[in-house]
Amino acid sequence: MRDPRVPLRNPLVAGLLAFAIPGAGHWYQGRRFKATIYSACILTIFVWGMILGNGQPVYSQLVYRTDGPGPTAQLQPSAPRMKFSFGYIAQVLVGVPAWPALVQEMRMRNTEANIDWIDAPIESDFQGIISRGFGNNQESEVVTGSIELIPANENGSKVVTGTLHVVRSDGSKQDFTLAGEIKLGREVFGSPRREVRCQVLAGDESDREERYSLEGSVRRSFIDWFEAPRDTLELDRLNGELSQNFDIASVFTWIAGLLNLLAIWDAAEGPAYGYGDEEESPDDETPE
């Protein structure tokens, strides 16, 4: 029963505001103390979960690699196959802070994956592997450093040029010239790292016998990875890097959403115990 002494104003508007921003519905009703408590507690739990999870606990879809070419979901040119993340049911109740996941899902579904095309220069740190040879004769080395990727033509190209500056495991440094066709991970994907694959030449560009294969990753812009769908490889990386902190971070975001569900109910229906719900005690009974 709604308490007539609590000014709920328009319950529908209050509920929608509470769903969009924790505490906003109560602020609209003039219940400022409750609004502050709900907003501070719910958003603090949610933000703390995002911090623990390196900003990645929230996503609406898990991406799977479809049949066909492409070793990973990032490098799959066909439309992604997605599975809904049930944890997002709780997370989306936090409102606006979790809604970018829906936008990123739509961006991924509606964007073609031009994995063999670069349309603008990229400068980034680099993590990856340089390989030479084939099969049992292949030699591979893990390297880090920086990379400059430049399309061969001004309007974009499948062929890339540029330079790779690497630091080897023994601390020595070497520069490589990029050459050949490039493959880039999807522009929108739930990982801060974007896969890159091409070929490099050791020393002078004319030194064709020193051709290496390059596999690694570069930075992806924040707007393209935040709350975007990701694959199991990215989840494995997160669990390996953050250990149990990633699971704790996910639980925090779930709890925040479920707490806001109570706030939405309170804004739309008023306090759970309303005026007039009291049971009469024996002392209140009038004698016959």
Residues 10 and 99 in one domain: yes
* Run of H or E residues at 198: strand 193-202
Residues 67 and 101 in one domain: yes
129 domain residue, yes or no:
yes
Give whole-number Cα distances, 226 to 47, 187, 254, in Å.
14, 12, 17
Averaged over 64-87, what is the pLDDT?
82
| pLDDT number for residue 68 | 59
Q: Judge whether residue 2 has pLDDT over 60.
A: no
Q: What is the domain extent for residue 187? A: 122-225
Residues 107 and 235 in one domain: yes
286 domain residue, yes or no:
no
Other C-beta atoms lying within 10 Å of the C-beta of residue 64 = 13
**In whole angstroms, what is the distance from residue 44 CA to residue 11 CA?**
26
**Quick check: 15 and 25 in contact, CB under 8 A?**
yes
Residues 47 and 33 in one domain: yes
Q: Judge whether residue 76 has pLDDT over 90.
A: no
For tokens 């020595």, the residue is 172
Rounding to the nearest 10 degrees, give the CA dihedral for residues 60, 116, 132, 178: -110
Note the pLDDT tens digit of each residue in 228-244.
999 999 999 999 999 99
**In whole angstroms, what is the distance from residue 185 CA to residue 73 CA?**
8
Note the pLDDT tens digit of each residue in 6-15.
677 898 999 9
The terminus-to-terminus CA distance of the chain in angstroms comes to 30
281 domain residue, yes or no:
no
Averaged over 11-26, what is the pLDDT?
94
Number of domains in the chain: 2
**In whole angstroms, what is the distance from residue 263 CA to residue 252 CA?**
17
282 domain residue, yes or no:
no
186 domain residue, yes or no:
yes
Averaged over 246-264, what is the pLDDT?
96
285 domain residue, yes or no:
no
| pLDDT number for residue 1 | 47
Note the pLDDT tens digit of each residue in 110-158.
767 788 889 899 999 999 998 887 666 778 888 899 999 999 888 888 9
Residue 109 pLDDT level (bands cut at 50, 70, 90): confident
Closest by Cα among 224, 261, 256 to 108? 224
- Identify the domain boundary among 184, 204, 225: 225
Judging by DSSP bridges, how do beta strands 61-64 and 230-231 pair with one another?
parallel
Q: Judge whether residue 287 has pLDDT over 70.
A: no
**In whole angstroms, what is the distance from residue 152 CA to residue 147 CA?**
15
Residues 23 and 105 in one domain: yes
| pLDDT number for residue 179 | 84
Q: Look up residue 159 and give its DSSP letter.
A: B
